[in-house]
Structure 1
Amino acid sequence: MRFHTRKWVKPEDLNPNGTLFGGRLLAWIDEEVALYSIIQLENAKIVTKHMSEINFKSSAKPGDIVEIGIDVVKFGKTSLTLTCEVRNIMTRETIISVDTITMVNLSEEGKPLPHGKTQIEYVKDRLEK
């Protein structure tokens, strides 16, 4: 799993229990997988179609640093399916895992658009072309 983004848990990210609010964490995940998909599919028009079961395994407290990891599961004709894990850097525990997140590539009209991609591409490799 490649960990791309780190987030610092601040007071505004907390639930009434004083731990990281799950909704905030899901928003961070959704944003990160959208950015990752936009870069992979080279199209800014990407939407989240589906998230599988979300499994909360531990929590994070104020001041903790969490990191979001993403891997590609498969390339579909118009979609990209990812897996995600968020872990607490301070405790080394997994906070949440999402088995599959499906992102869909869209046309200017908002319809699913074939992207023609079949494997992960890295920006450095695109620059060498």
Structure 2
Amino acid sequence: MKEKSCANSLAVKTSHVLPPDTNTHGTLFGGKLMAHIDDVAAIAAVRHARKPVVTASTDSVDFLAPVKEGHSICVEAFVTWTHSTSMEVFVKAVAEDLLTGNRRVCTTAFLTFVAVDDAGKPVPVPSIYPETELEKMLHEGASIRAKHRKERRKQSKELAVNFGTSFPWNRGL
């Protein structure tokens, strides 16, 4: 499998923030932005793997600034690191006041995707190489983030086992 550059996976989506997309504060719903993030990150992962992918985790979503109704939201994503079947994707969302041209990064996120075959089984992905200083910075920190993901996933599985499917604290309510 041929190694690919981070830039090879770049995916970008720009959307207008309209009234149905906003909350009572007149700002973009966080869940709506998260849907944009997952969509664009998945496109970046598929571009890299050239295979179907599934979201394995949303490692972090940091909302740094609100996005107002009437502004645009531009979501950019690219693969920063790969393991055997998984890919870490970095996402940056930029809000723009379309009337003034003022732009600011409003959200950053890291997601992990796994490439799968037709039966839904994980399949190998090409390795990745960073070219720019920012890509190198993200790539170098990826193994630490992967270690934290693995630890967090183990804790999540333990919580799932401990809590099970019922709510025992409801006491019959």
Category of TM-score, reference length = shorter chain: 0.7 to 0.9
Q: Which of 58, 72, 75 is the aligned partner of 1:68?
A: 75
- Between the aligned partners of 2:46 and 2:78, the Cα distance in structure 1 is 14
Matched AA of 2:61: I
Q: Which of 10, 23, 32 is the aligned partner of 1:24?
A: 32
Counterpart mapping for 1:58-97 below 5 A: 58-90=65-97, 91-97=102-108
User: 1:3: how far off?
Assistant: 6.6
Counterpart contact for 1:3–1:67, Cα < 8 Å: no
Aligned length: 117
Counterpart mapping for 1:1-129 below 5 A: 4-43=12-51, 45-90=52-97, 91-98=102-109, 100-115=110-125, 117-119=126-128
Which consecutive residues of structure 2, in runs of 5 or more, have no partner in the other structure? 1-6, 130-173
Counterpart contact for 1:54–1:97, Cα < 8 Å: yes
- Between the aligned partners of 1:71 and 1:97, the Cα distance in structure 2 is 12
Whose helix fraction is larger, Structure 1's or Structure 2's? 2
Whose strand fraction is larger, Structure 1's or Structure 2's? 1
3-state SS of the aligned residue for 2:45?
helix
Superposition TM-score, scaled by structure 2 size: 0.62
- Between the aligned partners of 1:20 and 1:89, the Cα distance in structure 2 is 12
- Between the aligned partners of 1:82 and 1:41, the Cα distance in structure 2 is 12
Structure 1: 4+ residue segments shifted above 3 A: none
- Between the aligned partners of 1:14 and 1:106, the Cα distance in structure 2 is 34
- Between the aligned partners of 1:28 and 1:13, the Cα distance in structure 2 is 12
- Between the aligned partners of 1:9 and 1:29, the Cα distance in structure 2 is 14
Superposition TM-score, scaled by structure 1 size: 0.82
Which consecutive residues of structure 1, in runs of 5 or more, have no partner in the other structure? 121-129
Tell which structure's C-alpha radius of gyration is larger. 2
Matched AA of 2:66: S
Aligned-CA RMSD value = 1.8
How many percent identity over aligned positions?
A: 26
Counterpart contact for 1:5–1:32, Cα < 8 Å: yes
